Amino acid sequence: MVSRIAIIILFHVFLSLNSHHAKAQAWIKAGYWYYDNDLRVSQINSTLYTHLICAAAGLNSSSYHLSIPSSEFSAFTNTVKRKNPSVTTLLSIGGWDTNYSTLSAMAGDSIYRKSFIDDSIKTARLYGFQGLDFSWLSANTSDNMDNMGTLFEEWRAAIVLETRNSSLSELILTTAVQLSPTLDYGSFPIDSIRRNLNWIHVLAYDYYDPEWDNFTAASAALYAPDSDVSTDSGIAAWIDEGLPASKLVLGLPFFGYAWKLANPSENSIGAPATGPAVTKQGDMSYKEINRYSKTQGAVGPIYNSYYVVNYLIVGSDWISFDGVDVVRIKVSYAKEKALLGYVVWEICQDDNWVLSQAAGGFDSGGGVDHKRKRLPKSRILIIILTTTAAVIILLGLAFYFIRIRILKSKSKETKLKVNNAAAAGDFDNNNPDMIVYSLADIGKATDHFIFENKLGEGGFGPVYKVINLLFFIGFHGTLLFNS
Ligand SMILES: *[C@@H]1O[C@H](CO)[C@@H](O)[C@H](O)[C@H]1NC(C)=O
Ligand SMILES: *[C@@H]1O[C@H](CO)[C@@H](O)[C@H](O)[C@H]1NC(C)=O
Ligand SMILES: *[C@@H]1O[C@H](CO)[C@@H](O)[C@H](O)[C@H]1NC(C)=O
Ligand SMILES: *[C@@H]1O[C@H](CO)[C@@H](O)[C@H](O)[C@H]1NC(C)=O
Ligand SMILES: *[C@@H]1O[C@H](CO)[C@@H](O)[C@H](O)[C@H]1NC(C)=O
Ligand SMILES: *[C@@H]1O[C@H](CO)[C@@H](O)[C@H](O)[C@H]1NC(C)=O
């Protein structure tokens, strides 16, 4: 009993020290507002966000100055700060609408780069933006990728210089990038990104879409059992390539895709499809999905725990999306991986701020799916430690106790089986690597089975993800509850 309490205490100390250390920049709750939509700037509930990004300025192809597409941009910052004075605003530049060749020409020429950089800083200051967010998702050659590195280098230098002469704080500089740091034609300039940008927005969605893929799919799957196209793989790749987790902000889609099923009776993920449904390209905002679901009497939403996605079915229309639970799980994932925060594309697609509230940890009335369940916590721990050395010694002790407990628990009556491959349907009772844990240990490991750690229901019962105790001793997989 004593050892168990010690372990819990030590683990909490470990966690709090760890998170304190990583908190140079506070947790980011960012959202893009796209000007060409039905939500006016004055209607934004800015209290739900720490950062709001106004999207998107284009590029004038003769002057390489910014072109501002809407009169709403100039009042954006003042307007959103009325409801939340501490919200930080960024001006987004580029994106899908921008002329690709103009971007290439700008980045490839030092005079054009200077013209662009100087104008971007001037425009940000003129309108009161506190940062600039650049997205060049079409830098489709390795030369362009190299030029992007140079651009970031010169941009940061200009920003530093400008700050020296002004009484204002230094502009934030970020970029929006694809899921993968290495693309067919080249790699993102990781080194320049690390040195010159505050963080990056990883647009972790659009892995599949109904125009290109003739099968139903989770377009923003957190995990994929049989492929490396998943948010988890993408995040791991950015970290592998040398960008610290603390520079990564996870993209959350507030939209989904509708496929037309080839055969309405085959309606699981991966079922044959014949193209987009409901809209021209199949894309639907969360708001539209909810409305369609209610008016058409959809089946679902169904939650798939392998991919972490919701989908619903209306006759031969099959729609996958991220609902309230999925958003919460992805935010928990971002915290668990010690990322810097999340960024939503885009806030106007939300339905009455339900997803924004779920992501931000605000209590909401709940969405289309389950409500949050959390068992009360009765632990009150006040620990003061003065030296790191003490912590290291205590961690060693904790590790020792855990090993002992695991060995002991093997002989207990309640049998809970752990198998990393179980979630992938590869469950094997005779697996020699399988360890048996007690219910108490597993309760701790999953933080008392709180909702975020539940991956879903499998054929063997509810499946939970380990975040706590077992993660601490280096195990990170899926637990299978098999009573
Ligand atoms: C904005 O969100 C906050 C937090 O959920 C909520 O308390 C507030 O009522 C919302 N305001 C509006 C205008 O929706
Ligand atoms: C681009 O800039 C040029 C030169 O400043 C200007 O004459 C032209 O009107 C601009 N084009 C657009 C579309 O704003
Ligand atoms: C894109 O910009 C290039 C020059 O940078 C110009 O020649 C071309 O017409 C532009 N394309 C469009 C669609 O505006
Ligand atoms: C890159 O994009 C430009 C503009 O769309 C196109 O003209 C060019 O052929 C593309 N290059 C490659 C290597 O795909
Ligand atoms: C900064 O101020 C100095 C002295 O006032 C001036 O010479 C320099 O040009 C200014 N630099 C910028 C980038 O404005
Ligand atoms: C999807 O398209 C591929 C390539 O065109 C084809 O081989 C495959 O049979 C198609 N699958 C379905 C389910 O239609």
The residues, any chain, with a CB within 8 Å of residue 130's CB and separated by 6 or more, are 77, 88, 89, 90, 124, 169, 171, 172
Q: Is the CB of 43 under 6 A from ligand 4?
A: no
32 within 8 A of 91, measured Cβ to Cβ: no
314 within 8 A of 299, measured Cβ to Cβ: yes
Q: Which helix (H) or strand (E) holds 441?
A: helix 439-445
Axis-axis angle for helices 110-127, 72-83 (nearest 10): 50
What is the residue-averaged pLDDT of the chain?
Answer: 80
Residues 341 and 445 in one domain: no
Q: Which ligand is nearest to the CA of 83?
A: 1
Residues 356 and 448 in one domain: no
Distance CA 441, CA 7 (A): 11
Pocket test for ligand 1, best of 47, 52, 82 (most atoms within 8 A of CB): 47
More confident residue, 390 or 232: 232
pLDDT confidence of residue 446: 45
Backbone CA torsion sign across 24, 137, 45, 453: negative
Is the pLDDT confidence value at 308 over 90? yes
At 286, give phi and psi (nearest 5°). Answer: -55, -40
Residues 282 and 410 in one domain: no
pLDDT confidence of residue 15: 45
Residues 227 and 337 in one domain: yes
224 within 8 A of 230, measured Cβ to Cβ: yes
Distance CA 228, CA 369 (A): 28
The pair of three-digit structure tokens given for residue 24, joined into one six-digit string: 């140079």
Token pair 């094997």: residue: 428
Q: Which of 310, 338, 333, 337 is nearest to 452 (CA)?
A: 333
Task: Give me the mean pLDDT over the 289-293 stretch.
Answer: 97
pLDDT confidence of residue 49: 98
Task: Give me the mean pLDDT over the 333-355 stretch.
Answer: 98
More confident residue, 53 or 416: 53
Beta bridge partners of 201: 176, 249
More confident residue, 226 or 36: 36
Q: Which of 189, 205, 174 is nearest to 241 (CA)?
A: 189
Distance CA 345, CA 145 (A): 24
CA Rg value for the chain? 24
Pocket test for ligand 3, best of 61, 65, 116 (most atoms within 8 A of CB): 61
**What pairing do the DSSP bridges indicate for beta strands 435-437 and 416-418?**
antiparallel
323 within 8 A of 267, measured Cβ to Cβ: no
Residues 187 and 104 in one domain: yes
CA 214 to ligand 6 center in whole angstroms: 6
pLDDT tens, position by position, 260-275: 999 999 999 999 999 9
Residues 96 and 18 in one domain: no
| Domains: count for the chain | 3
Task: Give me the mean pLDDT over the 408-428 stretch.
Answer: 33
Q: Is the CB of 142 under 6 A from ligand 4?
A: no
Instruction: State what percent of residues in the chain have pLDDT above 90.
Output: 67
Q: Is the CB of 47 under 6 A from ligand 1?
A: yes
Torsion over CA of 364, 366, 372 and 373, rounded to 10 degrees? 110
The residues, any chain, with a CB within 8 Å of residue 244's CB and separated by 6 or more, are 194
| Whole-structure pTM value | 0.76
Is the preceding omega at residue 56 within 30 degrees of 0, hence cis? yes
Q: Is the CB of 105 under 6 A from ligand 3?
A: yes
Residues 29 and 19 in one domain: no
Q: pLDDT tier at 390 (50, 70, 90 boundaries)?
A: low
Domain ends where: 344, 359, 376? 376
Pocket test for ligand 2, best of 59, 61, 63 (most atoms within 8 A of CB): 63
CA of 164, closest atom in ligand 5: 1
Is the pLDDT confidence value at 412 over 90? no
Distance CA 301, CA 293 (A): 9
Residues 38 and 13 in one domain: no
pLDDT confidence of residue 420: 30
pLDDT confidence of residue 391: 53
The pair of three-digit structure tokens given for residue 138, joined into one six-digit string: 């079409």
Distance CA 100, CA 59 (A): 10
49 within 8 A of 360, measured Cβ to Cβ: yes
Low-confidence winner among 3-7, 123-127, 355-359 (lowest mean pLDDT): 3-7
pLDDT confidence of residue 96: 79
pLDDT confidence of residue 23: 42
The pair of three-digit structure tokens given for residue 375, joined into one six-digit string: 């068992």
Task: Give me the mean pLDDT over the 287-302 stretch.
Answer: 96
Q: Is 311 helix (H, G, I), strand (E, B) or coil?
A: strand
pLDDT tens, position by position, 237-290: 999 999 999 999 999 999 999 999 999 999 999 999 999 999 999 999 999 999
CA 136 to ligand 4 center in whole angstroms: 13
pLDDT tens, position by position, 154-187: 999 999 999 998 889 999 999 999 999 999 999 9
Task: Give me the mean pLDDT over the 401-406 stretch.
Answer: 58
Domain range holding 462?
435-483
Q: Which residues of 25-53 are buried (b: 16+ CB within 10 A; e: fewer)?
A: eebbbbbbbbbeeebebeebbbebbbbbb
Question: Which residue's CA is the nearest one to ligand 2's atom 5?
Answer: 63
Q: pLDDT tier at 475 (50, 70, 90 boundaries)?
A: very low
CATH number for the domain that contains residue 347: 3.20.20.80
pLDDT confidence of residue 457: 39
Task: Give me the mean pLDDT over the 286-310 stretch.
Answer: 96
For residue 393, the 8-state DSSP code is H
The pair of three-digit structure tokens given for residue 396, joined into one six-digit string: 């060693």
Q: Which of 198, 236, 379, 233 is nearest to 307 (CA)?
A: 233
Beta bridge partners of 53: 32, 90
What is the DSSP secondary-structure string of 330-381? HHHHHHHTT--EEEEE-GGGSSTTHHHHHHHT---S--SSPPP--PPP----
65 within 8 A of 119, measured Cβ to Cβ: yes
Helix, strand, coil in percent for the chain, rounding step 5: 40, 20, 40
Residues 328 and 250 in one domain: yes
pLDDT tens, position by position, 317-339: 999 999 999 999 999 999 999 99
pLDDT confidence of residue 402: 61
pLDDT confidence of residue 370: 42
The pair of three-digit structure tokens given for residue 76, joined into one six-digit string: 């954006």
Residues 370 and 381 in one domain: no
Q: Is the CB of 45 under 6 A from ligand 1?
A: yes
Residues 454 and 480 in one domain: yes
Task: Give me the mean pLDDT over the 293-312 stretch.
Answer: 96
Task: Give me the mean pLDDT over the 39-44 stretch.
Answer: 98
Residues 347 and 477 in one domain: no
Is the pLDDT confidence value at 80 over 50? yes
pLDDT confidence of residue 454: 44
